[in-house]
Chains A and B, each alone.
Chain A
Amino acid sequence: MLLEVSHLTTEFRTRRGIVQAVRDVSFAIDRGEILALVGESGSGKSVTSLSIMGLLSSNGRISSGKILFNGEDLLTKSEHALRHIRGNNISMIFQEPMTSLNPIFTVGDQILESIRLHTKLSKKEAQEKMLHLLDLVGIPNPAKRVRDYPHQLSGGMRQRVMIAIAMACEPQLLIADEPTTALDVTIQAQILDLIYRMREQFNISVLLITHDLGVVAEAADRVAVMYCGRIVEEGKTADILSRPAHPYTLGLLRSIPRLDDNSQRLYMIPGMVPPPEEVPEYCAFADRCERATDKCREGLPPFIALKERNVRCINIISEEA
């Protein structure tokens, strides 16, 4: 396993007291695997990724758990060692390609900087590598584009540049935090395809954070569904999307508009996501769940292993669907 997160709990100090954003989350990513972390806004996906990077804001802290990267616990590393790992072994791309490039430097400058920071290449070699990278991520006429400023590129192009920068240090793990959310659909597919190709070519692992199940279906090998800071279901993409076992996963899937469905109204999960400080100590979905029984409110359901997947529910949807 390249990355093993076990029993990670991350909390934030806020005016309303301590709020847990990530609760006892465990998952693992193998070399060359794409794991998607899916959930609504506020379900703790991004905080999970920031916890792995060690980039929580000053009021956040990891209160328990382990994050093993190549077998070493990142939580016990010094800031200096972490910085080294961040640059060389783990890279990250962000949701908003409009703001993730520095507006006052040309894209060439920014890619070169990343290359020179992490490799000992000479200036000339670095420039060759830069052009190679840009070519790799599918930017036409790279020698000309390196002189452009970020505002002269389209969103999709900028995301490609971000990927080039992320790939510059040849990472083992790429964290992609909603990489396609800000892009339109055709570009989304291209960017996903690009991430997929990077994986094939460099055997990198990808932690793909998204709320878009379409993205999951297209790119991920495995999925972990998060709800209120907890993982509720985890398993192979094909299994989960075709036969969801957790009522929440089913609810998410039913909320997607379909071309072949003629019903007038789209399905909606009843109720609201509870605010983080009101997440109950029993199954957080119980209060919105159509299948919930009194037993659901008695305590946190354990993970139930079910043919290559784990489900945190005591009323698992069986093969009936």
Chain B
Amino acid sequence: MTDSAITLRKSSKWGDMWASICANKAALTSLIFILALVLTAVVIAISQALGFQILPYDPNVGDMDKAFIAPCAEHWFGTDQLGRDIFSRVLDGTKISLSVGVAAVSIALISGTLLGAIGGFFGGRLDNLIMRAMDVILSVPSILLAITFMAAMGRGLDKAVLAIGLVSIPEYARIARSCVMAVKANDYIQAARVTGDSNLRIILKHIVPNITSPIVVRATLGISSAVLDTAALGFLGLGVQPPFAEWGDMLARSRSFIFSAPYTLIFPGLAITITVLAFNLFGDGLRDALDPRSRRR
């Protein structure tokens, strides 16, 4: 009896989470969609690295004779002002947009959560120091700050990602700090101390797992703003450089044709919207799955 109960329990932790995500249709669909996006990006990147084109048209080479063709059988999403196939560009843009979003959010998420958790846990002067630094970052408009970072570091997509990650650190730091302070007041933290746990162990074992839900939710929302911020930097000539396709950049460059050729905006816009929606819905499901109290049973 003992053995079977224990083995069951061991495998059930991830099993419970998985079951919870599967029970949430929206989250499951979103997860599938996100995986499909990742697959698309990877396949395109590999094929381009190997030197053959699996997209219907070269996403970066246009034919001026074929500018502004409305969506048709030949060009599913139409063509842009330079005659490039929008369908190919949207697919090609998956690579950059996805990696930019995920990378920028990861930078902000990891360093922000760590800083906030340290500040919230130890309090006092260290907390003051960290949070005042965060206030300084927050007090400057984020795009301006990102531009300043890039002015110092030089242009390029990798630097844009770094800049966007850096400017969103304070949001995560603040969320993490307030959550840590709330969690810290619980008796189980005291109980952990009583059983002789060290600070590091308490943070990793008891605090971090308890603050994941709000941070995961913020992170899934953050991916969308990271994609849009990258577009803004690209538009200013600091992020992705032409002719490479990136959804936000495509949106920014075709905004003057919003009335004459709306399809030049609609498809990259839809790509951003659906991706962001998928991340948000998945984040929602993930939050429920991470928290045993809101898990569906």
Which A residues contact B (CB, under 8 angstroms)? 53, 55, 58, 83-88, 90-92, 94-96, 99-106, 108, 113-114, 117-118, 127-128, 131, 143-144, 146-147, 149, 151, 162, 165, 169
Contact A104 B195 (CB under 8 A): no
Contact A118 B292 (CB under 8 A): no
Contact B195 A106 (CB under 8 A): no
Contact B209 A104 (CB under 8 A): yes
Per the bound structure, the CA–CA distance linking A117 and B194 in Å amounts to 12
What 4 new A-B contacts, CB under 8 Å, besides A53-B194, A102-B206? A83-B197, A86-B194, A103-B188, A104-B291
Top 7 A-B pairs ranked by shortest CB distance? A87-B196, A100-B187, A143-B5, A149-B292, A92-B194, A86-B196, A83-B196
Give the Cβ gap from A68 to chain B, nearest Cβ, in Å.
20
Q: Does B1 contact A (CB under 8 A)?
A: yes
Q: Considering the complex, give the chain B residue whose CB is closest to the CB of A59.
A: B124
Residues of A within 8 A of B198 (CB): 83
Q: Does B193 contact A (CB under 8 A)?
A: yes
Per the bound structure, the CA–CA distance linking A104 and B288 in Å amounts to 12
Contact A94 B292 (CB under 8 A): no
Give the Cβ gap from B43 to chain A, nearest Cβ, in Å.
37
Give the residue of B2, B187, B192, B195 whose beta carbon is less than 8 angstroms from that of A169. Answer: B195
Q: Does B210 contact A (CB under 8 A)?
A: yes
Contact A101 B5 (CB under 8 A): no
The stretch among B6-14, B156-164, B234-242, B272-280 that forms the contact with chain A is B6-14
Give the residue of B190, B191, B293 whose beta carbon is less than 8 angstroms from that of A149. Answer: B293
Give the residue of B6, B12, B124, B187 whose beta carbon is less than 8 angstroms from that of A58. Answer: B124
Q: Considering the complex, give the chain A residue whose CB is closest to the CB of B187.
A: A100
Q: Does B139 contact A (CB under 8 A)?
A: no
- Chain B 203-217 interface 0/1 with A at a Cβ cutoff of 8 Å (1 = within): 001100110000000
Per the bound structure, the CA–CA distance linking A169 and B8 in Å amounts to 25
Contact B195 A55 (CB under 8 A): no
Residues of A within 8 A of B196 (CB): 83-88, 117-118
Residues of B within 8 A of A105 (CB): 209
Q: Does B260 contact A (CB under 8 A)?
A: no
Q: Considering the complex, give the chain B residue whose CB is closest to the CB of A89.
A: B196
- Total cross-chain contacts (CB, 8 A): 91
Residues of B within 8 A of A169 (CB): 195
Contact A103 B292 (CB under 8 A): yes
Contact B292 A144 (CB under 8 A): no
Q: Does B134 contact A (CB under 8 A)?
A: no
Give the Cβ gap from A78 to chain B, nearest Cβ, in Å.
13
- Chain B 154-194 interface 0/1 with A at a Cβ cutoff of 8 Å (1 = within): 00000000000000000000000000000000111011111
Contact B209 A128 (CB under 8 A): no
Give the Cβ gap from A125 to chain B, nearest Cβ, in Å.
11
Contact B2 A55 (CB under 8 A): no
Contact B2 A165 (CB under 8 A): no
A55-B194 CB under 8 A given contacts A104-B210, A128-B2, A131-B2: yes
B1-25 interface with A by 8 A CB criterion: 1-2, 5-6, 8-9, 12-13
Residues of A within 8 A of B231 (CB): none
Contact A86 B293 (CB under 8 A): no
Contact A162 B12 (CB under 8 A): no
Per the bound structure, the CA–CA distance linking A169 and B192 in Å amounts to 13
Give the Cβ gap from B100 to chain A, nearest Cβ, in Å.
32
Give the residue of A96, A103, A114, A143 whose beta carbon is less than 8 angstroms from that of B195. Answer: A114
Contact A87 B292 (CB under 8 A): no
Contact A55 B193 (CB under 8 A): yes
A100-B188 CB under 8 A given contacts A83-B198, A91-B195: yes
Contact B186 A99 (CB under 8 A): yes
Q: Considering the complex, give the chain A residue whose CB is closest to the CB of B193.
A: A55
Residues of A within 8 A of B210 (CB): 102-104
Give the Cβ gap from A168 to chain B, nearest Cβ, in Å.
8
Give the Cβ gap from B225 to chain A, nearest Cβ, in Å.
28
Give the Cβ gap from B190 to chain A, nearest Cβ, in Å.
7
Give the Cβ gap from B240 to chain A, nearest Cβ, in Å.
40
Residues of A within 8 A of B124 (CB): 58
Q: Considering the complex, give the chain B residue whose CB is closest to the CB of A82.
A: B196
Q: Considering the complex, give the chain A residue whose CB is closest to the CB of B213.
A: A104
